[in-house]
Structure 1
Amino acid sequence: MTAVVGVGVWVPEGRVGIEEVGGELGLSGMQVKIFRRYHRLGEIARDPHGGLAELLRGALDGLDALRGQEHRVRYVLHARTFPTVVPYPHDPVREVCDAYGLGHAAVFAVGHHACASGLLALDAAGRLLAAEGDHDGLALVLTGEKTFTAEARLVPGTSFFGEGAAACLVAATGERDRLLAYASDLRGDIDSGDEEAALAFQRVYADTLAATITAAVARAGLAMDDVGVVLPHNVNRVAWHQVCRTLGYPRERVVLDNVAATGHLFCADSFVNYRTAQARGLLRQGEPYVMAAAGAGSGAAFSAMAFVH
């Protein structure tokens, strides 16, 4: 049974107000006010000096569980929101792997579920290790991207992207942070290439994500009342309040601490929120919790994972 061995995160100290980002993107003053007053967004994390390699290095430096275990890592998966995250022919992920003693591992990207690709990569990592039957093997899931294009700075009408990264070490089995169930609902009929599809995504968002969370929890043999905390992707508070109403789940048990302070950190959100929950003492031994995310690209993906700490 797939288990999380450790999580390292890094979010740069630099912050940019959404008014400045909105100005860069040509948003009107009223559009920015809606983001601040309605969606409760404030600023985003941004590192003006470092690239993707520096983001990933920061996350790996915080992954204490990797120390001395580098030789056991069989796979490194970079979960991406966007298919292209750096200009060709740069390959910062492989460069970082070489620098951290992971050059022997198979390195590849996972990006089919947009912002939900982090959960897809975690599931794939566990499946790869289980298929090998090598209980000594580990896999490393890396998440995080730079806001290096206009498209990578804004989720239209929903949120702003920020910069940060996470590194999640995965084993095929384990005693803590065991994956109990994974559910994903793929909607190929919703393509974010036009405004109509974006509106369709927003219309189905709360109901579909709530149904996916419910499915993961049910597959784990649990009920929502059993779930101690939800670790979300950081879009905005209003969206998550809608999901909580649909679920009948207390919104104060969703870790929304980072939404207004960092922005939507691509696929890294759930892992960053894991560390926040850990620091706040919200992850209790033997208690289930949920990671959940949604992504829109060539179609839409709604995903959830049920774990036991």
Structure 2
Amino acid sequence: MTSLEAVATYLPEHRVPIEELAGELDLTPMQVRLFRRFHKLADVCRAPGTTPIDLLLAAVSKLDDLPAVRHRVRYVLWARTFPVVVPYPLNPLDAMCRLLGLDHAVAFTVTHHACATGLLAVDVAGRLLAHAQPDALALVVAGEKAFTHDARVVPETSVFGEGASACLVRHEGPRDRLLAYAANQRGDFDDEITTDITRFQDEYQASLMATIQAAVDRAGLTLDDIDLVLPHNVNIVAWQRLCRRLGYPVGRVLLENVPLTAHVFCADAFVNYQTARARGLLRPGDRYLVAAAGAGRGATFSAMVFEH
């Protein structure tokens, strides 16, 4: 059973009020007020002068156990929202592996599920490790730069912040065991974000609700059994509405990072996990759900259920 061995994250100290980003994001004063007052997006994490590899290394450096288990890392996966993040022939993943002494590992990028790719990468890592040596590990990293307009804002929905995460995944482990994974891909939403965002917003909640329920069902649980939800940090109002429709207490959804970091691409789940651990919100045996949605070439709605 796939499990998380260790999780680390990096969030730059530099944060920019959303009002200061209005120019580069082409936001009107009304749209800025909408983001702050309605969606509760206040500050955005930015790391000026850094590159993608700087972000990834900053997160990996916080995995204290990695030097001792480096030889056990069989796979390295970079979960990305965007298929292309640097110009050819640059390869941040290859460079990162060389710097970390992970040249022996099979390294590749996963991009298929946009901002939900972080969950896909954990699932892929677990499937690969099921056929590896019992003590083998996979390193899953996530983190990107807000390098273009499309990589900085989701129209009428959210703003992207910069940061990174890193986690060690193993096939069998004593904690943070993956009980179930569900993903719903909606190819009919191809390019809907730019051509018909209203339709996407209308069906967004129903699709995410169905995926969450599918993951809970596959875990043999009910929503009442879920002690905590770690969301993707798109905005607060979307989760308030979703919880009302699900009949799930919004107080059990960790939303405190939304106004502090904005939406950190595929790293949201791991950022929220770190916050939950730091606040003592996860006790041994607790079941928690991680949810994410991604939009690009179609849309993907994903959810994972773990036992801490």
Pair 219,194 (structure 1): closer, same or farther in 2 beyond 3 Å: closer
Q: Which aligned pairs between 1:1-309 and structure 2 lie closer than 5 A?
A: 1-132=1-132, 134-192=133-191, 195-309=194-308
Q: In structure 1, how many angstroms separate the alpha carbons of the residues matched to 2:45 and 2:88?
A: 25
My pick for the range that moved more, 204-213 or 156-165, is 204-213
Contact 2:80 2:266 in 1 (8 A): yes
Give the letter for the 1:3 counterpart.
S
Q: What is the distance in 1 between the residues matched to 2:152 and 2:126?
A: 31
Shift of residue 196, structure 1, vs aligned partner: 4.0
Q: Which stretch shows the higher mean deviation, 160-169 or 203-212?
A: 203-212
Q: Secondary structure at the match of 1:298?
A: strand
Secondary structure class of the residue paired with 1:107 = strand
Post-superposition offset of 1:21? 1.4
Letter in 2 for 1:66: L
Q: TM-score, normalised by structure 1?
A: 0.97
**How big is the shift at 1:175?**
1.2
SS of residue in 1 equivalent to 2:131: helix
295-304 or 58-67, larger mean C-alpha shift: 58-67
Whole-Å Cα distance in 1 between the matches of residues 15 and 5 of structure 2?
A: 30
Superimposed CA distance per residue, residues 67-99 of structure 1 (whole angstroms, 9 cap, x where no aligned partner): 310110111010010001112221112111111
Letter in 2 for 1:212: T
**Separation of aligned partners in 1, 2:141 and 2:194:** 31
- State the secondary structure of the residue aligned to 2:301: strand
Shift of 1:192: 2.8
**Runs of 4+ with >3 A deviation:** 193-197
What is the TM-score normalised by the length of structure 2?
A: 0.98
- Asked if the contact 1:191/1:198 (under 8 Å) is kept, the reply is no
**C-alpha separation in 1, matches of 2:221 and 2:26:** 46
Which SS does the other structure have where 1:103 is aligned?
Answer: coil
Measured in 1, the distance between the counterparts of 2:242 and 2:25 equals 29
Task: Extract unaligned runs of 5+ from structure 2.
Answer: none
Letter in 1 for 2:21: V
- The Cα of 1:25 is off from its aligned counterpart by 2.1
Identity within the alignment, %? 58
AA in 2 matched with 1:81? T
- How many Å separate the matches in 2 of 1:273 and 1:254? 10
For the aligned residue pairs, the C-alpha RMSD in angstroms reads: 1.1
Aligned-residue offset at 1:195: 3.6
SS at match of 1:67: helix
Q: Distance in 2 between matches of 1:17 and 1:88?
A: 33
Task: Give, in whole Å, the separation in 1 of the partners of 2:199 and 2:97.
Answer: 39
* Number of positions where the alignment pairs a residue of Structure 1 with one of Structure 2: 308
Deviates more, 1:93-102 or 1:179-188: 93-102
Contact 1:11–1:164, Cα closer than 8 Å, also in 2: yes
User: Counterpart amino acid of 1:190?
Assistant: F
Distance 2:218 2:240 in 1: 24
In structure 2, relative to structure 1, the CA distance for the partners of 1:135 and 1:235 (3 Å cut) is same
Distance 1:34 1:219, change over 3 A: same
Residue pair 1:192, 1:198 contacting (<8 A) in 2 also: no
Question: Residue 197 and residue 190 in structure 1: after superposition, are their counterparts in 2 closer, same or farther (change >3 A)?
Answer: farther
Q: Which runs of 5 or more structure 1 residues have no equivalent in the other structure?
A: none
Q: Is the 8 A contact 1:166 1:272 kept in 2?
A: yes
Instruction: Answer whether contact 1:209 1:294 (CA < 8 A) is retained.
Output: yes
> CA contact under 8 A between 1:295 and 1:302: conserved in structure 2?
yes
Quick one: distance in 2 between partners of 1:213 and 1:26? 34
CA deviation vs aligned residue, 1:31-68 (integer Å, no higher than 9, x gap): 11111111111010000021111111111111123231
